A and B are shown apart, each in its own frame.
Chain A
């Protein structure tokens, strides 16, 4: 029989650079770091599955190891796949609740006002802490009563007036929790004479499902989304996402982690700032008025991973009057669902401290970041409000 084990992890030259950059290894001595958890451990696991190390549970899938690796090893993916293969995920009710973001969203939005009040009550938070292990010190995300899709219904006629069209993959957060960024994307693109359409149906990109070990469900979602993309790309230029983790998952994790082939359309799935700056380069730049603010920009891990920080910075720097200070690229520690889990709370806070300290030391009007999860963490731990780059751009539109 042919030996079909993927041994690309053996391009690792054991230089330890990944471990020097791992935010978890920096604060949690129980985690041996990506080198040992990834390529080193993989050799052992191939030899004997019993050598699987439970410490892999501490990985947040931030992907910083892959960004730092000088040998092109997909360290983070090796770790995720090992966790899946060796039953390294604890898949309890809490993991189900936290990761099935679209299911929870569709259940919660109709009763949003009640749910939002309830999830802020101390006894409820205590109960969630005791029963599920969702840390009571975390602020739970609120739900919106009017989903983004419902709001968009009223925009359809307006959007059809544009010759050019893109499809917007809004993701769970924009649809169920806070539609602001989606509305701002529509405003910005319209100002650039581009209309927006939605996919007939979309499912969660899969990033929280992968992080909690629901690979089969993630793969099902991926297949459904890929089918939707193929349909919508027939009469729209590309698919845009405003959430870095969604964009990374649709582009990179589908083939690498879920083995869902996307090569035929990968180049047409784009992070919103990448698309917008490409339009700028072609001369399609809307009129913008000064936004006289001083802001600190925090780069989300999954945007760094897809090489997208350069596009967001280009977008921010094009806004007149805006002073942008780029923070040292450290992880905020939230990592989607990771920071909500009781056992990870302290690690998550310790990782983020480097970001919080930098922000508090600066005298800025706002913090800016592309990622909703980073936004939650920063707002919870600093005195600053966090805005999406598209919100600032929408503000700047004449």
Chain B
């Protein structure tokens, strides 16, 4: 079988690149070994939010100019990164998810532990706070849970928020809404997880003509006159943002949903929207299969072998490797070595294990290993035994030279590099229709 483009990895980077290729009319397949890390993510996109000294970044595009030349952003360039993010926002809108930002500034998003993380794009249901003055205009915060839901703890979140100077003086209202109030029938402990709650609410509450009103009055009663109402993201996967907006209209309150422990509904929402777009554009999503190895000749990759059909290699003229970092098994380690398990690409890492991490686990300093990854050319081509592979591009967390958590840059790197790789491919393919 022959494709124009094979994308290995169905996460944020892979799907962004794949959607771009499919949109340009290229015959594209994504091979994904199971669900990606998106299902565990916040459903917000960060670009660059935290400097080396742990201070927040307000204007990411200005800040990334000062990054070292090995950083993926320096290879992609600010202009391409911005185009990629615009493209991504448009694609999400086409799939029914509106992403909002604060002009050209980062905003703050609340986490379930009460931390404020810088983000560039957030879904509408997640309230955007001004990054440097998140508590502006907020004197009373209500944190409201559905009674029995264990993956969200209002008291823990309040304690986290209070550590922020702006919120230290705020009044916190912590409350539960009883399942009986919502007329929902949960009989088993497992029904009190985020997705199961969403399904139960859909079945027992939102199917009723006045269902949303029951919820809105319960919220109103619990929240009193709070300036900000925080609820865990358990209302719905599809259409969850619209529900929050409806509740805001009905209650007159400012409501913010926060992603909980996995499964994260805003993350799932984003993952399914991306897959839906890819399929609508004619892409083939091959899930549950895994690329085992590739066939290389003259510094080019010609085909890949997969676990399920090893004797039927799939060939393509271009490839994107977007298999993620250690968590997603795009990078592997044993006691002495770090490796890239699919093609055995050259990984940039020190030989001595002592240099992989700091001896102190949580002293606020980043560990070296989060910088490790595949070393690429300026065009994101990797090397194999020192030889550059010309038709293979790497994107997302598998790349070296950046620290997604410490910098708050994982979303931007995934989208920016996925977009960049796709455009490099499109530029070399005469049959691609230029649409952007």
A interface residues, Cβ below 8 angstroms from B:
15-17, 19-21, 25-26, 29, 32-33, 36, 66-72, 267, 274, 277-278, 281, 304-311, 313-314, 326, 328-329
Contacts and interface: CB of A to CB of B under 8 A. Distances in A.
Contacts of A306: 308
B171 interface: no
A334 B34 CA distance: 24
A70 B1 contact: no
Given A68-B287, A70-B328, A29 B191 contact: yes
Given A17-B35, A32-B188, A70-B35, A307 B29 contact: no
A310 B40 contact: no
B199 interface: yes
B319 to A, nearest CB: 16
Contacts of A21: 35
A308 B200 CA distance: 34
Contact of A68 (B40, B187, B262, B288): B288
Contact of B286 (A17, A29, A281, A310): A310
Given A19-B195, A267-B311, A310-B286, 17 more contacts: A15-B40, A15-B262, A15-B263, A16-B193, A17-B35, A17-B262, A29-B186, A29-B188, A68-B35, A70-B33, A70-B36, A70-B328, A267-B310, A304-B288, A308-B309, A313-B284, A329-B285
Contact of A274 (B186, B284, B309): B309
B165 to A, nearest CB: 35
Given A17-B39, A71-B34, A33 B190 contact: yes
Interface size band for B: 35 or more
Contacts of B288: 66-69, 304-305, 307
Contacts of A32: 188, 190
Contacts of A309: 284, 286
A324 to B, nearest CB: 10
B279 A16 contact: no
Contact of A326 (B2, B268, B279, B311): B279
B188 A20 contact: no
Contacts of B262: 15-17
Given A15-B262, A26-B199, A29-B191, A20 B268 contact: yes
Contacts of B33: 70, 72
A72 B308 CA distance: 13
Q: Which has the most chain A C-beta neighbours within 10 Å: B34, B263, B289, B314?
A: B34
Contact of B1 (A25, A66, A267, A314): A314
Contacts of B39: 15, 17, 20
A375 to B, nearest CB: 22
Contact of B34 (A70, A308, A310, A329): A70
A64 B39 CA distance: 16
Nearest to B287: A67
B35 A274 contact: no
Contacts of B200: 29
B348 interface: no
B195 A67 contact: no
B396 to A, nearest CB: 15
B263 A16 contact: yes
B276 A274 contact: no
A310 B284 contact: yes
